[in-house]
Amino acid sequence: MAVKVLIKRKFKKADVIEISKAIREARLGAMEQEGYISSETMWDHDHPNKVVVASMWQTLENWNSWRNSPQRKAIEETYKGSLDGPTEYEFYVLGIYPH
């Protein structure tokens, strides 16, 4: 069953250009991974230092493989010092969930 992952980050300052580059690099890497479907980036209108990436994957295992990959970890390392708090992750199953 497909999953949507919401990745929420708040940055210390709104260096949108540098942060956008890192997010774009992560998206390009994700697009090459098994199970990747799509993603979108949303910047908070009133607080440009807050960003949410919604990433859709065929399975949670596909997402976890990308999340734990050396490539993604290296990309995250580029903006780790700019984060204002931990990255938050939320996971949603798409469609009608079997109870």
Domains of the chain by residue range: 3-93
Q: What is the pLDDT of residues 33-76, one digit of tens each?
A: 999 999 999 999 998 889 999 999 999 999 999 999 999 999 99
Q: What is the pLDDT of residues 83-99, one digit of tens each?
A: 999 999 999 998 886 66
pLDDT at residue 1, rounded to an integer: 84
Q: Which of 34, 42, 39 is nearest to 69 (CA)?
A: 34
Q: Give domain 3-93's CATH architecture.
A: 2-Layer Sandwich (3.30)
Rounded Cα–Cα distance for residues 6 and 78 (Å)? 20
DSSP state, residue 98: P
Output the pTM of the full model.
0.89
